Amino acid sequence: MRLLLPFSSPLSATSPPSLPDHPPPSKIEYSGLTKIFKKSVIGTLTGALSLTLVLSSPIPSVAASIDPYLSMTPPSLSPDSSPEDCPNEEEADTEVLEDDVRSQLVTNEGIVEEAWEIVNDAFLDARSNTWSPETWQKQKEEILSSPIKSRSKAHEVIKKMLGSLGDQYTRFLSPDEFSRMSKYDITGIGINLREVSDGGGNAKLKVLGIVLDGPADIAGVKQGDEILAVNGVDVSGKSSFEVSSLLQGPSKTFVVLKVKHGKCGPLRTIKVQRQVNAQTPVSYRLEKVDNGKISVGYIRLKEFNALARKDLVIAMKRLQDKGASYFVMDLRDNLGGLVQAGIETAKLFLDEGDTVIYTAGRDTETQKTVVADRQPLINAPLIVMVNNRTASASEIVASALHDNCKAILVGERTYGKGLIQSVFELRDGSGVVVTIGKYVTPNHIDINGGGIEPDFRNLPGSLNL
């Protein structure tokens, strides 16, 4: 079970939210892995994330409208299904309960071994390079040589086992911590989506987590529902990232969902009022330089959250309308946040086919090339400001623009956080966060540890804003 974190949003058809016209400062200063992946709940969790961040901004826990049901249609069967294939809701609920009971019967040793297997098949030792399957196998044999008498002891064993890896990002999640993470919401309506294989090579989108008394819960959306359409747009074939983008919009506006309860229905159309908690990370202003001859658009990005890409587009268009012919994007002290939002932000400046980032890992599942899929939003000269607190998603953006000759970098060497984590659920409801890969820049530079060296320490004299 794997949840993809969909973190960016295209411009909504509704009116854009208001953005501040100026930033706070008044002046700019200087193998078995495929099997394991099926159990993974949250993929591509990067950025300098600690448990504290998982439980608070930018990774908060997932936190009514009149006549929420616009229409109701009777259950329908797919052409290749029959009534026998579709148990009624009572039978389906019974199956879920039985599965839950079975999950509680797993032994303490079984939970420890499950966590061990995930590391054995997925872990990437990107720092010390001392991990090996042989030593890991020996550690397992030592751990399981004596009985583990309680579940709390099993959890302690897992913590120590993961701690021995020497990777600060690989860690254990208690059932409560895992539950709160699975309810992480960037949709604005209190749901968390996951992609589930339909067995035919395609993915269905289902509601993994839902906030009790949140907008979707109040309107009638249920955990396990399949999302079929958003505002009349069929979402078949779309990723959870794309669908979350469709769900996003200004707070207090409405979105209409078509959902299917259970395997075969019923189908329902539900109207949900958005409740966006994320704050815009974008601030901007227009500056005149060279005795007023040149207009420069200054944009500060504090973090990459669900609103980053959308609000950046709004800011750039407004600055262009005001006459900006150059841009400065300030990523100083931006520790990252949502990696997919960073990737989508980088694509705004790249030519179609340009490489955004490479991902590397032990298995081909993590070896990918991310490329831009459309023409750039702007072609104006761009400076990106960075420092030693520019990390993760910010480093992906900075390196993508730099290596594709779309921007020059000014400031200090960046932090150097380029690891990829996935979160896996264990059978007792707890979980483990495991480093499974790393990011490599278009020029094949390993971001992790070394960071990115800027082109210049200070802004050019003509842009001494």
Q: Give the pLDDT score at 63.
A: 23
pLDDT of residue 269: 95
Query: Per-residue pLDDT tens for 222-244?
Result: 888 999 999 999 998 887 777 88
CATH 3.90.226.10 residue spans of the chain: 282-418+438-446
Q: What is the largest CA-CA distance in the chain?
A: 78
CB-count burial class (<10 Å; 0-12, 13-18, 19+) for 224? middle
| pLDDT tens figures, 8-59 | 322 233 333 444 444 433 333 333 433 433 444 444 333 332 222 222 222 2
For residue 58, whether the previous peptide bond is cis, meaning omega lies within 30 degrees of 0, is: yes
What is the residue-averaged pLDDT of the chain? Answer: 77
Evaluate the omega torsion of the peptide bond into residue 266 and state whether it is cis, within 30 degrees of 0.
Answer: yes
pLDDT bin (cut points 50, 70, 90) of residue 148 is very high
Output the pLDDT for position 302: 95
Residue-wise pLDDT for 428-456, tens only, equals 989 999 999 999 999 999 999 889 999 99
The confidence score (pLDDT) of residue 204 equals: 86
Superfamily classification of domain 188-274: PDZ domain (2.30.42.10)
What confidence score (pLDDT) does residue 150 get?
A: 95
Alpha-carbon distance 428 to 451, whole Å?
38
Distance between CA atoms of 102 and 99, rounded to whole angstroms?
5
Q: What are the CA-CA distances from residue 294 to residues 78, 182, 289, 324 (Å)? A: 61, 48, 5, 8
- According to the model, what pLDDT value does residue 34 have? 37
Q: Which of 439, 458, 450, 451 is nearest to 383 (CA)?
A: 458
Active centre residues (catalytic): 392, 417
Which CATH homologous superfamily contains domain 282-418+438-446?
A: 2-enoyl-CoA Hydratase; Chain A, domain 1 (3.90.226.10)
Name the region of 400 (left: φ>0; alpha: ψ -120 to 50; beta: rest).
alpha
**CATH code 2.30.42.10 region(s) in the chain:** 188-274
Global pTM reads 0.67
Which comes out higher in pLDDT, residue 67 or 306? 306
Predicted pLDDT of residue 75: 28
Q: What is the pLDDT of residue 367?
A: 85
φ, ψ for residue 186 (rounded to 5)?
A: -120, 15
336 in the Ramachandran plot: left (φ > 0), alpha (ψ -120 to 50) or beta?
left
Look at 157-161, 174-178, 288-292, 295-299 and tell me which has the smallest mean pLDDT. 288-292
